[in-house]
Amino acid sequence: MSGRLTVVGLGPGDPRHLTPEAAHALAAADALYGYGPYLDRVPARAGQSRHPSDNREEGARAAMALRHASEGARVAVVSGGDPGVFAMAAAVCEQIEHGPEAWRALDVVFVPGITAMLAVAARIGAPLGHDFCALSLSDNLKPWELVEQRLDAAAKAGLVMALYNPISRTRPWQFGSALDRLRRHLPQTTPVVFGRAVGRPDEHISIMALAEADPAHADMATLVIVGSPDTRVVRRPGRAPLVYTPRAAAKVSA
């Protein structure tokens, strides 16, 4: 029997955001690999083995799943959000590149999911309505100096920024440093959106100006969207405000 590896995006957490393709891939697998809390989102099925691992063991997790698939099993690796956005798809590809030849002969499929920046954006309007970028503030796999360079470049270019992995117990100061850096380039009134655990029971959304943005509002379950100078907040009596970035760019003076 020929093995198969499927990397499946679970979306932001609400079962309604799981695509039919992802649900089918999960049901068809002989074995599931993933970060423990993500595996907990997948219903248990008779005869299907589950292999949880820690959040910072992506490479080892991918290698174990590939090894299992090369033995002829149908294996699914689960990933929160979309597996191609700061997640397991790249880890799997890296292991295939550097691993045994047999891994390159496997049938490998990537199933997309709704990533956090899209889920948060949908809750508040259209902050990604014009040009934007996504940055991870984690310096576990890249130097902080590179993060700073990219923050500077994105702010100077007028891009809306979706900031993944803003803060954790082992990275307590980086998000505050990033906000201070952005205040050098952006108007203090620039909208900042904190979207925590979107699609889950403990979801919380808050909107504040860059001048007031406090790192204490974020944790590892939070996706932060920093607007551009063009991003607008529409106040609505009795309703939550809308945050959007107009589709047409403001005129640039010569």
Claim to verify: residue 85 and residue 131 sit in the same structural domain: no
Claim to verify: residue 14 and residue 101 sit in the same structural domain: yes
For the chain of 254 residues, list the mean pLDDT of each consecutive stretch of 10.
91 92 97 96 94 91 97 97 96 97 96 97 97 96 97 98 94 96 97 94 95 94 97 96 93 57
Question: In 125-189, at which residue ranges do the beta strands (DSSP E only) sit?
Answer: 125-126, 132-136, 160-164
Claim to verify: residue 153 and residue 206 sit in the same structural domain: yes
User: What string of DSSP letters covers 158-174?
Assistant: T-EEEEES--BTTB-SH
Condensed to tens digits (0 to 9), the pLDDT of residues 181-215 reads: 999 999 999 999 999 999 888 999 999 999 999 99
Claim to verify: residue 23 and residue 95 sit in the same structural domain: yes
Show which of 79, 114, 149 is a domain's final residue. 114
Condensed to tens digits (0 to 9), the pLDDT of residues 25-62 reads: 999 999 999 999 999 999 999 999 999 998 888 999 99
Claim to verify: residue 26 and residue 139 sit in the same structural domain: no
Claim to verify: residue 212 and residue 187 sit in the same structural domain: yes
Locus of tokens 């956005």: 85
- For the chain, how many structural domains are there in total? 2
Claim to verify: residue 89 and residue 204 sit in the same structural domain: no
The answer to whether residue 250 is domain-embedded is no
Dist. CA 137–CA 171, nearest whole Å: 9
CATH of the domain at 239: 3.30.950.10
User: What's the domain range around 8?
Assistant: 4-114
Claim to verify: residue 103 and residue 149 sit in the same structural domain: no
Instruction: Report the amino acid identity of residue 167.
Output: I
Dihedral sign for Cα atoms in the order 204, 205, 207, 212: positive
Q: What is the pTM of this model?
A: 0.93
Question: In 99-190, at which residue ranges do the beta strands (DSSP E only) sit?
Answer: 107-111, 125-126, 132-136, 160-164
CA of residue 51 relative to chain centroid, distance: 22
Q: Residue 71: count other Cβ atoms within 10 Å of its Cβ.
A: 11
Claim to verify: residue 124 and residue 206 sit in the same structural domain: yes
